[in-house]
Each structure stands twice: as structure tokens, then as C-alpha cells.
Amino acid sequence: MKPGSEQFRSILILTLINVGIIVILSFLSPTFLTYENLLSVLKRMSVLGMLAIAETIVFISSGFDLSIGTIMAISGLIAGQMYIFGLPFFLCVLLALLGGMAAGLMNALFIVKLRLQPFIVTLATMSILRSIVYGVLRGKTLSHFPESYLAYGDLTILGFPFLFLVLIVFAVLSSLLLQRTYIGRQIYAVGGNERSAYLSGISVNRIKYTVYILSGFICACAGLLFSIRIRAIIPDAGLNSPLEVVTAVVIGGTAITGGKGTIAGSLLGVLALFLLTNGFSLLNLNPFWQLVVLGLLLIYVVGREGISKALIGKRLKKKSHQAAGIK
């Protein structure tokens, strides 16, 4: 990422916005800058940050994945349910990760083999897997996890929560994959122009399989982090995640049409959302307005180019009418 580039400017602007939010909230709430509150923000953003990494990679490839929150939920469910069945917990974790990758593979198969739209495929996957989660849990909470596993939720290293450090490790590895490897360059190429990528010798279908399986794996890891953070898996785990994640990723500068985006930008977008959410909580504002704000942000960010063009067109039309009136 070069200084002066569009991505660099986007990250710089988003960094300044986050700093501005922090400064404003520190004046409005005396408890905002306390260690306990900031620790809570970092813990909570760790799970959504993992989902944002997965969605960013998919978006860059010009894909779309609405099933991220549901894959997170069912992966945590697999780990807990297998532990109840008496399997060693390391094997439960392995099965949870494989379950997430299998869900990603299922998405890829329908998208590649049947040439269906990613939005429709992942919407269907989300509905199917969510129904399974509801059917297994039946409105109850699954909290049967080893205490040694749940202890990671309270672990801090150099003052930072363990869950947040896991997010940072995944962010660094994902950024290196996208920016420093041949596969990463292929993902950008496919997202930028699938036809040109195919003509240049890139196996487009292989890249799509890789992207969705990797997304499923990262979402499964998010499911494990979620179960650690709240010490359980609940039926509604990740229910609102698609809206939150897509908003954060697009705010972070990742193009919904593919070929452009960074992991750093997406995580800054996640941080901005959680700072706003935390501010709502500290200022005792109605939490239902959070979804309204998220929806408006998503509409603006996705449609800002069209909005700008419409405003410019309106101004030019007004000037042309004025010029015609003068004549």
C-alpha cells in the first residue's frame, strides 16, 4: 500500500474518524477510557473482526457471503455438541474447523458448478444452517465447554485480551496472503476482472473454491472465539453479523464489486462500529437505533458514488438551465 494511494487515504481518513470518536466519547462519558471498558471493546470486536477478515477476502474476489454469522454459530455448536458426546476437546475443535470449511466448500460448489449468484447461494446456506442451529439448540444455550478452554476469555497478554491478539495474528497472516503471495494477487485479479484473469491463465474456479473455503475456516475460528467470549453458544449467535460486517468492510474501503480492499481498512471499520456501539451503551441511548445507524451507513457508503453523481448531475442541469435563461 503506497502513501498517496486511494487505499492509503481511505485508511488514514478512517483512522482519524476513530480518533475523533474516541476523543468525543472520552468527553461525553467518564468511564469510556477506563481499562475495563476498553478491554471489553477489544474483546467484543475480536469476533466480528474475524468475520470481517473472511468477508473482505470474499469481497476482493468479487464474491459475497451472507452465511458468515451462521457458519460461526454452527461451528461453535459442533465443538460443544461433540464435547457432550464425549470426544476429546482437541478433536471437537478440529471438527468445528472442518465443519466451517465444509460450509464454505458447499457455497463454492453451488457458485462454481451451478453458476448461481453468491448472494442467493449464501442466503440459502444461511437459512439452512441457521435452521439446524435452532433445531439442535431448541431455544436453549449450550454451555458445555472445558473450563481450561473458557479460561482464554479472561487471559490477557501485555494488557491486551488474548482474543484480540488472535484477531491481530489472523489479520497479519491474511494481509500477507493478499499482499505478498501469488494466490493473493490472483484473488485481486479475479475480483478486478474475472474474464481478464481467466485469459491470463488464472484458474478462476480454483480461486473461488480457495476463497470460500478460507472464509469458512476463518468463520469457524470466529465461532470458537465467540464461545470463549460468552462461555456458551446461543441460537441467535451471529444473527446480525452480515449487516454489521458488510457495513464495516465497505466503510473500510473494500469494494463490494471486487478487486479492491484491505484487511486493515476492514478492521478499522469494525473498530468504528464498536466504538459507536459502546458510546450508545455508555450514554444510555436506545440500542435499537444502532441498527438504524448501521443501515443508513451501509446505504450511504455503498451508494455514495451514485449519490455524488446524482448531485453533480443536478448541479450541471441547474447551471445549464440558468445559462439558457440568461440567453
Nearby residues of 222 by Cβ (< 8 Å), 6 or more positions away = 47, 50, 51, 54, 68, 72, 75
Cell numbers 491486551: residue: 160
**pLDDT at 287 (0 to 100):** 65
| Vertex 13 angle, CA 11 and 18, to 5° | 90
Smallest CA-to-CA distance from 254 within 58, 52, 59, 49 is with: 59
Nearby residues of 197 by Cβ (< 8 Å), 6 or more positions away = 186, 189, 190, 204, 207
Helix ranges, 181-287 (H): 182-192, 194-199, 204-230, 241-251, 263-282
Contact (CB, 8 A) for 300 and 307: yes
Contact (CB, 8 A) for 183 and 52: no
Smallest CA-to-CA distance from 216 within 115, 131, 123, 108 is with: 108
Cell numbers for 17, please give them: 474518524
Query: In this model, does residue 290 exceed pLDDT 90?
Result: no
Nearby residues of 29 by Cβ (< 8 Å), 6 or more positions away = 279, 282, 283
Question: Phi and psi for 279 in degrees, rounded to 5?
Answer: -65, -40
Span 161-177, average pLDDT: 96
Cell numbers 469476533: residue: 47
Contact (CB, 8 A) for 228 and 135: no
Among residues of the chain, what percentage have pLDDT more than 90? 63
Cell numbers 459442533: residue: 78
Q: Position 2: which residue type?
A: K
Report the C-alpha gap between 223 and 233 in whole angstroms: 9
Provide the whole-model pTM. Answer: 0.89
Cell numbers for 92, please give them: 471437537
Cell numbers 481499562: residue: 35
Secondary structure element (H or E) that encloses residue 157, with its range = strand 156-157
What number of other Cβ atoms are within 10 A of residue 172's Cβ? Answer: 12
Q: What is the pLDDT of residues 225-265, one digit of tens each?
A: 999 999 999 999 988 899 889 988 988 888 888 888 999 99
Span 277-282, average pLDDT: 84
Contact (CB, 8 A) for 138 and 156: no
Q: What is the pLDDT of residues 66-121, one digit of tens each?
A: 999 999 999 999 999 999 999 999 999 999 999 999 999 999 999 999 999 999 99
Query: In this model, does residue 285 exceed pLDDT 90?
Result: no
Read off the pLDDT band of 321 (50, 70, 90): low
Helix ranges, 86-203 (H): 89-113, 118-137, 147-150, 162-180, 182-192, 194-199
Strand partners, 233: 142
Contact (CB, 8 A) for 188 and 60: yes
